[in-house]
Amino acid sequence: MRRLLALAALLTIASLLASQAAPAATLDRIRDTGVFRIGYRADAKPYSYRNEKSQPAGYIVDLCREVAAAVGPHIRTEYVLVPADRRFEAIRDGRIDILCDPTSVTIQRREIVDFSLPTFVDGASVISRQSKPVRRFEDLAGKRVGVLDGTTSEQTLRTSLRELNLKATVEPVRDHRAGLDLLWSDKIDAYFADRGIIAAILQEGGRPGFEISRPYFSYETYALALPRNDSAFRLLVDRTLAHLYRTGRIAAIMEKTFGKTPLDDLLRAMIVMNALPER
């Protein structure tokens, strides 16, 4: 009996120590420190990027600014630049509170992070020379194809090539600009990435002689990546997004980045379906 009591006491003490060592919930930590850490990317324009003034910018970064405002007044926003291949670890390891970039939701990624309501719908396309256009997967046969390392685009590319029994050389890169630089310098034949990102970079660079494939090669649902098992923080994020969708305020945020271009039917449907009522 004494041994059982002693063991029970040790287990109780261990449990107390473990609870004291556990990290604070996201909202508690933010309010205690007064700092909200937004993770963003340097090269994922128009969603998340560093502008000409070296400041964070983009549609999804603007969504996270709305979340920061919802956390409460007197909170300082700190922007943390994260590389594409380490962005989920940044959330998992507590270096950032929220990931604000064009992150596609997958089941495998849910093992590392949680996700908010959807923020955008896009898909993979290919940019190539007009003299040797890529307009379907079969056109990639025998070509050197660049793709961002560790992304759903890379998985889609490799899986599709394998399933279609197409021989192509896949060249993983660490950021989109590096990949497109390889294309401009004729070191690869095509670059495979989310259409919105490569369209923005192509327009910005003013490169003649290149084109983006008309059809999508995949469809991707973006969402904000959040720490796992923190329902209070996720509720605040989802409430913020649903309010933007429900009230129509999302239109002004989108117009800031995308101009007055009409929304396609898929994106409009995403907004309507996620404009959840408050009560």
- How many of the other CB atoms lie within 10 Å of CB of 62? 18
Neighbouring residues of 110: CB distance < 8 A, sequence distance ≥ 6: none
Say how far residue 242 (Cα) sits from the centre of its chain.
18
- Confidence at residue 24, expressed as pLDDT on a 0 to 100 scale: 56
Beta-strand ranges (E) seen in the chain are 35-40, 43-44, 48-50, 56-57, 76-81, 98-99, 114-122, 124-129, 144-148, 169-173, 190-194, 210-212, 220-226
Mean pLDDT of 9-31: 55
pLDDT at 22 over 50: no
Q: What are phi and psi of 159, to 5 degrees?
A: -65, -45
- Confidence at residue 262, expressed as pLDDT on a 0 to 100 scale: 83
pLDDT at 4 over 70: no
Peptide bond into 227 cis (omega under 30): no
Distance, in Å, from the CA atom of 62 to the CA atom of 64, rounded to the nearest integer, reads 5
- Per-residue HEC secondary structure of 146-158 comes to EEECCCHHHHHHH
pLDDT at 6 over 60: no
Domains of the chain listed by start with CATH number? 25-122+221-273 (3.40.190.10), 124-212 (3.40.190.10)
Token pair 């660490």: residue: 174
191-241, pLDDT tens digit by residue?
999 988 888 888 776 678 999 998 889 899 999 999 999 999 999 999 999
Query: Which tops the pLDDT comparison, 177 or 60?
Result: 60
Report the percentage of the chain scoring pLDDT > 70.
91
Mean pLDDT of 164-190: 95
> What's the pTM value of the predicted model, to 2 decimals?
0.80
137-168, pLDDT tens digit by residue?
999 999 999 999 989 999 999 999 999 999 99
Per-residue pLDDT band at 3 (split at 50, 70, 90): very low
